[in-house]
Chains A and B, each alone.
Chain A
Amino acid sequence: MLDSALSVFRMGRNMARLMEGLGVTLEISVVAVGLSLIFGVPLGLMMAGSNRPLKWLLRGYLEFVRVMPILALLFIFYYSLSKFWNINLSALTVSIFVFTLWGAAEMGDLVRGAVTSLPRHQWDSARALGLSEGQVSFRVIIPQAIRRLLPGVINLTTRMIKTTPFVFFINLPDLLKVGQQIVEVSGLRYPLASVWVYGFIFIIYFVICYPISLFSRYLERRWAS
Protein backbone atom coordinates (compact mmCIF):
# COMPACT_ATOMS: atom_id res chain seq x y z
CA MET A 1 0.00 0.00 0.00
CA LEU A 2 2.75 2.40 0.94
CA ASP A 3 4.49 1.48 -2.29
CA SER A 4 1.68 3.07 -4.25
CA ALA A 5 2.06 6.24 -2.17
CA LEU A 6 5.72 6.49 -3.01
CA SER A 7 5.03 5.75 -6.68
CA VAL A 8 2.43 8.52 -6.90
CA PHE A 9 4.81 11.10 -5.51
CA ARG A 10 7.73 9.84 -7.60
CA MET A 11 5.78 9.71 -10.85
CA GLY A 12 6.91 12.39 -13.29
CA ARG A 13 7.37 15.78 -11.66
CA ASN A 14 4.55 15.23 -9.18
CA MET A 15 6.44 16.16 -6.04
CA ALA A 16 8.03 19.20 -7.68
CA ARG A 17 4.63 20.34 -8.93
CA LEU A 18 3.11 20.00 -5.48
CA MET A 19 5.88 22.18 -4.12
CA GLU A 20 5.21 24.74 -6.86
CA GLY A 21 1.57 24.68 -5.81
CA LEU A 22 2.62 25.23 -2.23
CA GLY A 23 4.68 28.19 -3.47
CA VAL A 24 1.56 29.76 -5.04
CA THR A 25 -0.37 29.16 -1.82
CA LEU A 26 2.32 30.80 0.29
CA GLU A 27 2.81 33.64 -2.18
CA ILE A 28 -0.87 34.60 -1.98
CA SER A 29 -0.88 34.39 1.82
CA VAL A 30 2.33 36.35 2.37
CA VAL A 31 1.56 39.10 -0.15
CA ALA A 32 -2.04 39.44 1.05
CA VAL A 33 -1.01 39.62 4.71
CA GLY A 34 1.65 42.23 3.88
CA LEU A 35 -0.80 44.37 1.90
CA SER A 36 -3.46 43.91 4.60
CA LEU A 37 -1.02 45.31 7.14
CA ILE A 38 -0.15 48.26 4.92
CA PHE A 39 -3.80 49.17 4.29
CA GLY A 40 -5.15 47.92 7.61
CA VAL A 41 -3.11 50.16 9.90
CA PRO A 42 -4.36 53.48 8.48
CA LEU A 43 -7.89 52.02 8.20
CA GLY A 44 -7.76 51.03 11.86
CA LEU A 45 -6.57 54.46 12.91
CA MET A 46 -9.47 55.98 10.97
CA MET A 47 -11.87 53.51 12.64
CA ALA A 48 -10.56 54.64 16.01
CA GLY A 49 -10.65 58.31 14.96
CA SER A 50 -13.29 60.95 15.42
CA ASN A 51 -14.69 61.35 11.90
CA ARG A 52 -18.16 59.85 12.29
CA PRO A 53 -19.34 59.45 8.68
CA LEU A 54 -15.97 57.87 7.84
CA LYS A 55 -16.31 55.50 10.81
CA TRP A 56 -19.79 54.40 9.70
CA LEU A 57 -18.56 53.87 6.16
CA LEU A 58 -15.66 51.73 7.36
CA ARG A 59 -17.96 49.87 9.74
CA GLY A 60 -20.24 49.04 6.81
CA TYR A 61 -17.26 47.84 4.77
CA LEU A 62 -16.05 45.64 7.64
CA GLU A 63 -19.51 44.14 8.22
CA PHE A 64 -20.00 43.45 4.51
CA VAL A 65 -16.68 41.64 4.24
CA ARG A 66 -17.44 39.70 7.42
CA VAL A 67 -20.84 38.56 6.24
CA MET A 68 -20.00 37.71 2.62
CA PRO A 69 -18.23 34.42 2.01
CA ILE A 70 -14.74 35.10 0.65
CA LEU A 71 -15.40 32.55 -2.06
CA ALA A 72 -18.37 34.59 -3.31
CA LEU A 73 -16.22 37.75 -3.40
CA LEU A 74 -13.47 35.92 -5.26
CA PHE A 75 -15.95 34.65 -7.76
CA ILE A 76 -17.66 38.01 -8.23
CA PHE A 77 -14.44 39.92 -8.78
CA TYR A 78 -12.97 37.28 -11.06
CA TYR A 79 -15.98 36.89 -13.31
CA SER A 80 -17.55 40.34 -13.26
CA LEU A 81 -14.49 42.48 -13.59
CA SER A 82 -13.38 40.55 -16.62
CA LYS A 83 -16.76 40.15 -18.29
CA PHE A 84 -18.76 43.13 -17.14
CA TRP A 85 -16.19 45.92 -17.23
CA ASN A 86 -13.74 44.33 -19.61
CA ILE A 87 -10.85 44.48 -17.19
CA ASN A 88 -8.69 41.42 -17.52
CA LEU A 89 -6.89 40.51 -14.37
CA SER A 90 -5.02 37.31 -13.77
CA ALA A 91 -6.46 34.86 -11.25
CA LEU A 92 -3.46 35.56 -9.03
CA THR A 93 -4.06 39.31 -9.01
CA VAL A 94 -7.77 38.85 -8.27
CA SER A 95 -6.96 36.45 -5.43
CA ILE A 96 -4.50 38.82 -3.82
CA PHE A 97 -6.93 41.72 -4.32
CA VAL A 98 -9.85 39.91 -2.68
CA PHE A 99 -7.74 38.52 0.17
CA THR A 100 -6.42 42.02 0.82
CA LEU A 101 -9.92 43.49 0.66
CA TRP A 102 -10.91 41.06 3.41
CA GLY A 103 -7.63 41.19 5.32
CA ALA A 104 -7.39 44.98 5.43
CA ALA A 105 -10.85 45.19 6.98
CA GLU A 106 -10.01 42.57 9.61
CA MET A 107 -6.61 44.13 10.23
CA GLY A 108 -8.24 47.54 10.59
CA ASP A 109 -10.56 46.15 13.23
CA LEU A 110 -7.59 44.62 15.10
CA VAL A 111 -5.73 47.96 15.00
CA ARG A 112 -8.86 49.78 16.15
CA GLY A 113 -9.23 47.34 19.04
CA ALA A 114 -5.56 47.68 20.01
CA VAL A 115 -5.61 51.48 19.94
CA THR A 116 -8.92 52.03 21.70
CA SER A 117 -8.08 49.48 24.41
CA LEU A 118 -5.12 51.59 25.56
CA PRO A 119 -6.21 53.77 28.47
CA ARG A 120 -6.25 57.54 27.90
CA HIS A 121 -3.81 58.09 30.79
CA GLN A 122 -1.00 56.41 28.85
CA TRP A 123 -0.86 59.45 26.58
CA ASP A 124 -1.34 61.90 29.46
CA SER A 125 1.23 60.28 31.75
CA ALA A 126 3.82 60.08 28.99
CA ARG A 127 3.35 63.77 28.21
CA ALA A 128 3.42 64.66 31.91
CA LEU A 129 6.83 62.98 32.12
CA GLY A 130 8.01 65.44 29.52
CA LEU A 131 8.30 63.08 26.54
CA SER A 132 8.00 64.66 23.12
CA GLU A 133 5.08 63.70 20.83
CA GLY A 134 7.42 61.42 18.86
CA GLN A 135 8.63 59.73 22.01
CA VAL A 136 5.05 59.29 23.23
CA SER A 137 4.16 57.48 20.00
CA PHE A 138 7.28 55.41 19.48
CA ARG A 139 8.25 54.58 23.06
CA VAL A 140 4.90 54.32 24.82
CA ILE A 141 1.90 53.85 22.55
CA ILE A 142 3.21 51.82 19.60
CA PRO A 143 5.08 49.18 21.67
CA GLN A 144 1.97 48.54 23.74
CA ALA A 145 -0.32 48.55 20.72
CA ILE A 146 1.91 46.02 18.96
CA ARG A 147 1.70 43.66 21.93
CA ARG A 148 -2.06 43.76 21.78
CA LEU A 149 -2.06 43.48 18.01
CA LEU A 150 0.45 40.76 17.25
CA PRO A 151 -1.48 37.63 18.39
CA GLY A 152 -4.46 38.79 16.31
CA VAL A 153 -2.27 39.47 13.26
CA ILE A 154 -0.69 36.02 13.49
CA ASN A 155 -4.12 34.52 13.88
CA LEU A 156 -5.31 36.34 10.76
CA THR A 157 -2.27 34.98 8.91
CA THR A 158 -3.22 31.37 9.60
CA ARG A 159 -6.82 32.14 8.66
CA MET A 160 -5.56 33.50 5.36
CA ILE A 161 -3.39 30.47 4.70
CA LYS A 162 -6.41 28.27 5.41
CA THR A 163 -8.56 30.32 3.02
CA THR A 164 -6.14 30.03 0.08
CA PRO A 165 -7.65 26.76 -1.23
CA PHE A 166 -10.62 28.89 -2.37
CA VAL A 167 -8.51 30.00 -5.35
CA PHE A 168 -9.12 26.48 -6.65
CA PHE A 169 -12.46 27.84 -7.92
CA ILE A 170 -10.83 30.38 -10.21
CA ASN A 171 -8.39 27.77 -11.52
CA LEU A 172 -5.26 29.07 -9.90
CA PRO A 173 -2.71 26.23 -9.58
CA ASP A 174 -2.39 26.31 -5.78
CA LEU A 175 -1.49 23.26 -3.70
CA LEU A 176 -4.99 21.78 -3.83
CA LYS A 177 -5.51 22.37 -7.56
CA VAL A 178 -2.18 20.74 -8.39
CA GLY A 179 -3.13 17.86 -6.10
CA GLN A 180 -6.39 17.39 -7.98
CA GLN A 181 -4.60 17.38 -11.33
CA ILE A 182 -2.16 14.75 -10.07
CA VAL A 183 -4.99 12.59 -8.75
CA GLU A 184 -6.78 12.82 -12.09
CA VAL A 185 -3.72 11.67 -14.00
CA SER A 186 -2.37 8.99 -11.70
CA GLY A 187 -5.70 7.85 -10.21
CA LEU A 188 -6.19 5.24 -12.91
CA ARG A 189 -2.87 3.56 -12.32
CA TYR A 190 -2.89 3.98 -8.55
CA PRO A 191 -6.42 3.78 -7.13
CA LEU A 192 -5.22 5.08 -3.77
CA ALA A 193 -3.68 8.24 -5.28
CA SER A 194 -6.48 10.45 -3.89
CA VAL A 195 -5.89 9.16 -0.35
CA TRP A 196 -2.16 9.84 -0.51
CA VAL A 197 -2.25 13.18 -2.28
CA TYR A 198 -5.10 14.76 -0.30
CA GLY A 199 -3.74 13.26 2.90
CA PHE A 200 -0.36 14.78 2.12
CA ILE A 201 -1.89 18.21 1.44
CA PHE A 202 -3.84 17.94 4.70
CA ILE A 203 -0.60 17.29 6.58
CA ILE A 204 1.24 20.14 4.82
CA TYR A 205 -1.42 22.63 5.92
CA PHE A 206 -1.26 21.28 9.45
CA VAL A 207 2.54 21.44 9.56
CA ILE A 208 2.44 25.09 8.46
CA CYS A 209 -0.48 26.33 10.56
CA TYR A 210 0.00 24.44 13.82
CA PRO A 211 3.36 26.01 14.81
CA ILE A 212 2.08 29.46 13.88
CA SER A 213 -1.02 29.03 16.05
CA LEU A 214 1.12 27.70 18.92
CA PHE A 215 3.32 30.80 18.63
CA SER A 216 0.29 33.10 18.68
CA ARG A 217 -1.01 31.40 21.85
CA TYR A 218 2.44 31.64 23.45
CA LEU A 219 2.56 35.39 22.80
CA GLU A 220 -0.96 35.82 24.11
CA ARG A 221 -0.09 34.06 27.35
CA ARG A 222 3.24 35.83 27.76
CA TRP A 223 1.83 39.27 27.18
CA ALA A 224 -1.45 38.71 28.98
CA SER A 225 -0.14 39.88 32.34
Chain B
Amino acid sequence: MDFIDWDFIVSRAPLFWAAAKLTVKLAVGGILLAAALGFLCAVARFYRIPVFNQIAYFYIELARNTPLMVQLFFLYFGLPRLGLVWEGQTCAIVGLTFLGGAYMAEAFRGGLAAINRNQVESALSIGLSRIQTLRYVIAPQALAVAWPAISATVIFLMKETSVFSIVALPDLMYVAKDLLKEGHSGETNLLLILSYLTIILPVSLFFGRMERRLRFAGFGS
Protein backbone atom coordinates (compact mmCIF):
# COMPACT_ATOMS: atom_id res chain seq x y z
CA MET B 1 0.00 0.00 0.00
CA ASP B 2 1.61 3.22 -1.05
CA PHE B 3 -0.97 5.46 0.59
CA ILE B 4 1.09 5.39 3.74
CA ASP B 5 4.87 5.22 3.58
CA TRP B 6 5.57 2.61 6.27
CA ASP B 7 9.35 2.81 5.85
CA PHE B 8 9.19 6.46 6.78
CA ILE B 9 7.10 5.68 9.84
CA VAL B 10 9.37 2.86 11.02
CA SER B 11 12.55 4.85 10.46
CA ARG B 12 11.28 7.99 12.21
CA ALA B 13 9.52 6.27 15.10
CA PRO B 14 12.65 6.33 17.34
CA LEU B 15 12.69 10.14 17.12
CA PHE B 16 9.14 10.23 18.45
CA TRP B 17 9.98 7.65 21.11
CA ALA B 18 12.80 9.85 22.44
CA ALA B 19 10.57 12.93 22.37
CA ALA B 20 7.76 11.04 24.09
CA LYS B 21 10.14 10.03 26.88
CA LEU B 22 11.08 13.68 27.39
CA THR B 23 7.41 14.70 27.42
CA VAL B 24 6.57 12.01 29.99
CA LYS B 25 9.54 12.94 32.15
CA LEU B 26 8.62 16.63 32.24
CA ALA B 27 4.93 15.88 32.72
CA VAL B 28 5.54 13.51 35.64
CA GLY B 29 7.96 15.93 37.30
CA GLY B 30 5.67 18.91 36.83
CA ILE B 31 2.49 17.10 37.88
CA LEU B 32 4.02 15.66 41.07
CA LEU B 33 5.43 19.05 42.08
CA ALA B 34 2.12 20.69 41.18
CA ALA B 35 0.28 18.21 43.39
CA ALA B 36 2.63 18.97 46.30
CA LEU B 37 2.30 22.74 45.81
CA GLY B 38 -1.46 22.40 45.38
CA PHE B 39 -1.73 20.40 48.58
CA LEU B 40 0.14 23.06 50.57
CA CYS B 41 -2.03 25.83 49.13
CA ALA B 42 -5.24 23.87 49.77
CA VAL B 43 -4.24 23.30 53.41
CA ALA B 44 -3.33 26.97 53.84
CA ARG B 45 -6.74 27.92 52.43
CA PHE B 46 -8.70 25.24 54.34
CA TYR B 47 -7.31 26.11 57.79
CA ARG B 48 -7.20 29.84 56.90
CA ILE B 49 -3.59 30.13 58.01
CA PRO B 50 -3.00 33.90 58.16
CA VAL B 51 -0.82 35.41 55.41
CA PHE B 52 -0.38 32.02 53.67
CA ASN B 53 -4.11 31.95 52.98
CA GLN B 54 -3.94 35.29 51.17
CA ILE B 55 -0.74 34.42 49.34
CA ALA B 56 -2.29 31.13 48.23
CA TYR B 57 -5.44 32.89 47.00
CA PHE B 58 -3.47 35.47 45.05
CA TYR B 59 -1.22 32.83 43.51
CA ILE B 60 -4.12 30.52 42.58
CA GLU B 61 -6.01 33.29 40.80
CA LEU B 62 -2.89 34.55 39.03
CA ALA B 63 -1.89 31.12 37.75
CA ARG B 64 -5.40 29.97 36.81
CA ASN B 65 -6.24 33.08 34.83
CA THR B 66 -3.18 33.26 32.60
CA PRO B 67 -2.00 30.90 29.84
CA LEU B 68 0.97 28.57 30.36
CA MET B 69 2.63 29.89 27.19
CA VAL B 70 2.66 33.44 28.52
CA GLN B 71 3.97 32.22 31.87
CA LEU B 72 6.74 30.32 30.10
CA PHE B 73 7.68 33.30 27.92
CA PHE B 74 8.03 35.43 31.02
CA LEU B 75 10.04 32.75 32.84
CA TYR B 76 12.27 31.83 29.91
CA PHE B 77 12.79 35.14 28.09
CA GLY B 78 11.91 37.71 30.75
CA LEU B 79 13.49 36.57 33.99
CA PRO B 80 17.02 35.93 32.60
CA ARG B 81 17.16 39.68 31.87
CA LEU B 82 16.66 40.23 35.60
CA GLY B 83 19.50 37.85 36.37
CA LEU B 84 17.65 34.55 36.80
CA VAL B 85 18.95 32.29 34.04
CA TRP B 86 17.66 28.74 33.73
CA GLU B 87 17.75 26.04 31.13
CA GLY B 88 14.74 24.85 29.18
CA GLN B 89 13.92 21.72 31.19
CA THR B 90 13.99 23.49 34.55
CA CYS B 91 11.91 26.28 33.12
CA ALA B 92 9.36 23.84 31.67
CA ILE B 93 8.96 22.04 35.00
CA VAL B 94 8.77 25.30 36.95
CA GLY B 95 6.14 26.61 34.52
CA LEU B 96 4.04 23.43 34.66
CA THR B 97 4.28 23.42 38.46
CA PHE B 98 3.25 27.07 38.67
CA LEU B 99 0.21 26.47 36.46
CA GLY B 100 -0.71 23.05 37.81
CA GLY B 101 -0.26 23.91 41.49
CA ALA B 102 -3.18 26.32 41.27
CA TYR B 103 -5.49 23.82 39.55
CA MET B 104 -4.50 21.10 42.01
CA ALA B 105 -5.11 23.45 44.95
CA GLU B 106 -8.64 24.13 43.70
CA ALA B 107 -9.26 20.42 43.17
CA PHE B 108 -8.10 19.53 46.71
CA ARG B 109 -10.00 22.44 48.20
CA GLY B 110 -13.21 21.20 46.60
CA GLY B 111 -12.62 17.83 48.24
CA LEU B 112 -11.88 19.29 51.67
CA ALA B 113 -14.87 21.64 51.46
CA ALA B 114 -17.19 18.66 50.96
CA ILE B 115 -16.30 17.23 54.39
CA ASN B 116 -18.72 18.01 57.15
CA ARG B 117 -17.25 19.44 60.35
CA ASN B 118 -19.18 16.70 62.23
CA GLN B 119 -16.99 14.09 60.62
CA VAL B 120 -13.86 15.55 62.18
CA GLU B 121 -15.46 16.04 65.58
CA SER B 122 -16.95 12.54 65.59
CA ALA B 123 -13.61 11.02 64.64
CA LEU B 124 -11.83 12.90 67.44
CA SER B 125 -14.52 11.99 69.96
CA ILE B 126 -14.17 8.27 69.35
CA GLY B 127 -10.50 8.64 70.22
CA LEU B 128 -8.71 8.96 66.87
CA SER B 129 -5.66 11.21 66.88
CA ARG B 130 -5.50 14.21 64.51
CA ILE B 131 -3.21 12.29 62.18
CA GLN B 132 -5.52 9.27 62.24
CA THR B 133 -8.49 11.53 61.58
CA LEU B 134 -6.72 12.93 58.55
CA ARG B 135 -5.57 9.52 57.35
CA TYR B 136 -8.74 7.48 57.90
CA VAL B 137 -11.59 10.01 57.84
CA ILE B 138 -10.73 13.20 55.96
CA ALA B 139 -8.32 12.03 53.24
CA PRO B 140 -10.38 9.11 51.81
CA GLN B 141 -13.54 11.17 51.53
CA ALA B 142 -11.82 14.31 50.28
CA LEU B 143 -9.95 12.31 47.67
CA ALA B 144 -13.14 10.64 46.44
CA VAL B 145 -14.82 14.02 45.98
CA ALA B 146 -11.75 15.68 44.48
CA TRP B 147 -10.83 12.81 42.15
CA PRO B 148 -12.70 13.95 38.99
CA ALA B 149 -11.10 17.40 39.31
CA ILE B 150 -7.65 15.91 39.97
CA SER B 151 -8.08 13.65 36.98
CA ALA B 152 -9.13 16.54 34.71
CA THR B 153 -6.13 18.55 35.94
CA VAL B 154 -3.66 15.75 35.25
CA ILE B 155 -4.96 15.30 31.69
CA PHE B 156 -4.99 19.07 31.16
CA LEU B 157 -1.38 19.38 32.33
CA MET B 158 -0.25 16.49 30.11
CA LYS B 159 -1.82 18.23 27.12
CA GLU B 160 -0.22 21.53 28.09
CA THR B 161 3.24 19.94 27.82
CA SER B 162 2.76 20.29 24.04
CA VAL B 163 3.98 23.90 24.21
CA PHE B 164 7.42 23.07 25.58
CA SER B 165 9.14 23.51 22.23
CA ILE B 166 8.95 27.29 22.80
CA VAL B 167 11.58 26.89 25.52
CA ALA B 168 13.75 25.05 23.01
CA LEU B 169 12.97 21.51 24.16
CA PRO B 170 12.91 18.69 21.58
CA ASP B 171 9.42 17.43 22.49
CA LEU B 172 6.86 15.74 20.24
CA MET B 173 5.69 18.97 18.61
CA TYR B 174 9.29 20.00 17.95
CA VAL B 175 10.12 16.68 16.29
CA ALA B 176 6.93 16.78 14.22
CA LYS B 177 7.60 20.31 13.04
CA ASP B 178 11.16 19.40 12.16
CA LEU B 179 10.07 16.31 10.20
CA LEU B 180 7.54 18.27 8.16
CA LYS B 181 10.46 19.75 6.22
CA GLU B 182 10.97 16.29 4.67
CA GLY B 183 7.43 16.28 3.28
CA HIS B 184 5.39 13.25 4.43
CA SER B 185 2.97 15.39 6.42
CA GLY B 186 0.40 12.57 6.62
CA GLU B 187 2.88 10.11 8.17
CA THR B 188 4.31 12.74 10.49
CA ASN B 189 0.86 13.68 11.76
CA LEU B 190 -0.06 10.03 12.20
CA LEU B 191 3.04 9.53 14.36
CA LEU B 192 2.20 12.66 16.31
CA ILE B 193 -1.38 11.53 17.01
CA LEU B 194 -0.25 8.01 17.93
CA SER B 195 2.41 9.36 20.29
CA TYR B 196 -0.01 11.56 22.21
CA LEU B 197 -2.67 8.84 22.29
CA THR B 198 -0.11 6.37 23.65
CA ILE B 199 0.90 8.75 26.40
CA ILE B 200 -2.40 10.31 27.45
CA LEU B 201 -5.07 7.67 26.73
CA PRO B 202 -3.82 5.13 29.34
CA VAL B 203 -3.66 7.89 31.96
CA SER B 204 -7.19 8.97 31.07
CA LEU B 205 -8.48 5.38 31.28
CA PHE B 206 -6.69 4.75 34.57
CA PHE B 207 -8.14 7.86 36.20
CA GLY B 208 -11.61 7.00 34.91
CA ARG B 209 -11.33 3.51 36.42
CA MET B 210 -10.14 4.87 39.75
CA GLU B 211 -13.00 7.35 39.74
CA ARG B 212 -15.55 4.54 39.54
CA ARG B 213 -13.84 2.70 42.40
CA LEU B 214 -13.44 5.74 44.62
CA ARG B 215 -17.04 6.81 44.22
CA PHE B 216 -18.03 4.57 47.10
CA ALA B 217 -15.62 6.15 49.56
CA GLY B 218 -17.85 9.17 50.18
CA PHE B 219 -20.10 8.85 53.19
CA GLY B 220 -23.79 8.75 52.44
CA SER B 221 -23.45 9.65 48.76
Interface 9-residue window, one of B14-22, B62-70, B115-123? B62-70
Q: List 25 A-B contacts (CB under 8 A).
A: A67-B196, A67-B204, A69-B162, A70-B159, A72-B172, A72-B192, A75-B173, A75-B177, A79-B189, A80-B186, A84-B185, A163-B67, A165-B67, A166-B163, A176-B69, A183-B77, A191-B81, A192-B82, A194-B73, A194-B78, A199-B78, A201-B73, A202-B74, A205-B70, A206-B65
> Interface size of B by Cβ–Cβ distance < 8 Å?
39
> When chains A and B are docked, how far (Å) is the Cα of A195 from the Cα of B193?
35
Q: Mark B157-168, 1 if CB is under 8 A from A, else 0.
A: 001111100100
Q: Which of B77-121 contact A (CB under 8 A)?
A: 77-79, 81-82
User: CB of B71 within 8 A of chain A?
Assistant: yes
Across the interface, A71 reaches (CB within 8 A) one of B66, B70, B173, namely B173
Across the interface, B159 reaches (CB within 8 A) one of A63, A69, A176, A195, namely A69
Q: Which of B45-73 contact A (CB under 8 A)?
A: 61-62, 64-67, 69-71, 73
Smallest CB–CB gap between B48 and chain A, Å? 18
A-B contact count (CB 8 A): 112
A72 in contact with B67 given A67-B204, A80-B189, A180-B73 (CB within 8 Å): no
Q: Mark A148-162, 1 if CB is under 8 A from B, else 0.
A: 000000000010001
A67 in contact with B74 given A194-B81, A206-B65 (CB within 8 Å): no
User: CB of B176 within 8 A of chain A?
Assistant: yes
A66 in contact with B81 given A80-B185, A168-B69, A199-B74 (CB within 8 Å): no
User: CB of A144 within 8 A of chain B?
Assistant: no
- Are B65's CB and A213's CB within 8 A? yes
A67 in contact with B173 given A180-B73, A195-B82, A202-B74 (CB within 8 Å): no
Closest 10 CB pairs of A and B: A69-B162, A209-B65, A165-B69, A69-B159, A71-B162, A198-B74, A195-B78, A162-B67, A194-B77, A205-B66
- Are A198's CB and B82's CB within 8 A? no
Q: Which of A155-204 contact B (CB under 8 A)?
A: 158, 162-166, 168-169, 176, 179-180, 183, 191-192, 194-195, 198-199, 201-202
Please indicate the chain B residues that have their CB under 8 angstroms from the CB of A183 in the complex.
77
Please indicate the chain A residues that have their CB under 8 angstroms from the CB of B185 in the complex.
79-80, 83-84
Smallest CB–CB gap between A83 and chain B, Å? 5
A68 in contact with B66 given A79-B180, A84-B185 (CB within 8 Å): no
Smallest CB–CB gap between A96 and chain B, Å? 18
User: CB of B200 within 8 A of chain A?
Assistant: yes
Main secondary structure of the interface of A (DSSP, over half): helix
Please indicate the chain A residues that have their CB under 8 angstroms from the CB of B73 in the complex.
176, 179-180, 194, 198, 201
Please indicate the chain B residues that have their CB under 8 angstroms from the CB of A168 in the complex.
69, 166
User: CB of A38 within 8 A of chain B?
Assistant: no
> When chains A and B are docked, how far (Å) is the Cα of A71 from the Cα of B202?
20
> When chains A and B are docked, how far (Å) is the Cα of A165 from the Cα of B66?
10
> When chains A and B are docked, how far (Å) is the Cα of A122 from the Cα of B71?
46
Q: Whose C-beta in chain B lies nearest to the C-beta of A191? A: B81
- Are B67's CB and A192's CB within 8 A? no
A71 in contact with B204 given A76-B189, A180-B73, A192-B81 (CB within 8 Å): no
- Are A71's CB and B163's CB within 8 A? yes
Please indicate the chain B residues that have their CB under 8 angstroms from the CB of A194 in the complex.
73, 77-78, 81
- Are B77's CB and A198's CB within 8 A? yes
Please indicate the chain A residues that have their CB under 8 angstroms from the CB of B201 in the complex.
67
Smallest CB–CB gap between A1 and chain B, Å? 10
